[in-house]
Chains A and B, each alone.
Chain A
Amino acid sequence: GQSLEQPSEVTAVEGAIVQINCTYQTSGFYGLSWYQQHDGGAPTFLSYNALDGLEETGRFSSFLSRSDSYGYLLLQELQMKDSASYFCAVREDTNAGKSTFGDGTTLTVKP
């Protein structure tokens, strides 16, 4: 079967660093994406990794290890506005097709 596992909840304080892990078991793998979703809003794209290693975009970084079927999203210098749900998603097609989403991690940033 196909499964993605990520922690259900994470709490951190403003200014801190937090890491959200994602492990996956899918029939196909072409890349790992991360999305952010604020309460009542739509998921928005944060980052994508197709190859092993770290991708950095401002305060957010994403890491992938294909051999370990594992990735993480790293959020630095946390701000209150970072409080949201974060989803990892595996792209299973060679083209722009099917992605399977994890259940999401709710991040709460406290003052």
Chain B
Amino acid sequence: DAGVIQSPRHEVTEMGQEVTLRCKPISGHDYLFWYRQTMMRGLELLIYFNNNVPIDDSGMPEDRFSAKMPNASFSTLKIQPSEPRDSAVYFCASTSIDTYNEQFFGPGTRLTVL
């Protein structure tokens, strides 16, 4: 399996622009997680889905952030409008009931908002 795939790997944008991050989970995994990692706040869970349904979005910082999972093989995290404080590495991870002890992380998207 190719593992969790994220795109883009790097994104540089200007404040106020819309940013869309993409994730393809491992085939057969029915849980998908979006994390944000910064030096100041560590690894924070933003939202997670089960069977394409958002289960817990309490970590989403504010209304500028939204996430969707239209099908089992694709999810997006959108920031609109972006701000410099959104600069971070965003990770997507997936797992299943069969591998529930372990989350499989993608390579991450390094976002820089100027």
Chain A contacts to B: CB under 8 angstroms:
31, 33, 41-45, 48, 50, 87, 91, 95-104
Within the assembled complex, what's the spacing in Å between the Cα atoms of A100 and B48? Answer: 12
Q: Which of A42, A95, A97, A103 contacts B42 (CB 8 A)?
A: A103
Chain B contacts to A: CB under 8 angstroms:
30-31, 35, 42-45, 48, 50, 55-56, 91, 93, 95-97, 99-108
- A-B CB contacts (within 8 Å), total count: 59
Known: A95-B100, A96-B96. A43 touches B56 (CB 8 A): no
Q: Are A48 and B42 closer than 8 Å at their CB atoms?
A: no
With both chains docked as a complex, state the minimum distance between the C-beta of B46 and any C-beta of chain A, in angstroms.
11
Other than A87-B43, A104-B42, give 18 A-B pairs with Cβ distance below 8 A: A33-B101, A33-B103, A43-B105, A50-B101, A91-B101, A95-B31, A95-B50, A95-B100, A96-B31, A96-B97, A97-B50, A98-B45, A98-B56, A99-B45, A99-B103, A101-B35, A101-B45, A102-B42
